[in-house]
Amino acid sequence: MFASKRLGKELTKIHQTLPPGISLVSASDFKEWQMDIKVLDANPLYLDQTYRLRFRFSNNYPIEAPEVTFITLSSPSRTVPTHPHIYSNGIICLDLLGTQGWSPVQNVESVCMSIQSMLTGNTKNERPPGNEEFVARNTQRPRDIRFVYEDATV
């Protein structure tokens, strides 16, 4: 519909300026982009680490939410941050990425900022409950998973 036009404009703006700790890695088309994020304060859990986010867009973006996950790479080294709402396979449990919580006024930059602040505020060095089982069994796409958002403070 208007996905490519809108993403084109987001990209223009991203090339001009991005908030500290967020950088664009690749955006060769309007299907998939990769972004790097860093936690800026001295949170010991994520100190000196950079994490890679993969955005996948459908043709209905921004009416539909993008699919956003952390990905693992060996070079440069990128791991999935430890967080009670992030599964070890990179799937993020964040209401704004779900069908219910998404709004078309969100954008790539605002999503990155939300994830960044979700890491900044975290003090628990743990995975979500049932992580191993979820990672072993889940075959659904992230946006189709019905997470229960139990704790709005993390």
Q: Which residues carry out catalysis?
A: 93
Binding of another protein at residue 67 (CB under 8 A)? no
Residue 141 binds another protein, judged by CB under 8 A: no
Told to check if 103 binds another protein by CB under 8 A, we report yes
Only one of the segments 6-14, 31-39, 123-131, 137-145 lies at the binding site for another protein (rule: CB under 8 A); that segment is 6-14
Q: In this chain, which stretch among 14-22, 73-81, 82-90, 100-108 interacts with another protein, using CB under 8 A?
A: 100-108
The yes or no reply on residue 15 touching another protein (CB under 8 A) is: no
User: Of 101 and 121, which CB lies nearer to another protein in the complex structure?
Assistant: 101
The reply on whether position 104 binds another protein by CB under 8 A is yes
What DSSP letter does each residue of the chain carry, written as one string? --HHHHHHHHHHHHHH---TTEEEEE-SSSSEEEEEEE--S--TTSTT-EEEEEEE--TTTTTSPPEEEEE-BTTTTB-PPPBTTB-TTSBB--GGGSTTT--TT--HHHHHHHHHHHHHT-----PPTTHHHHHHH--S-GGGS------TT-
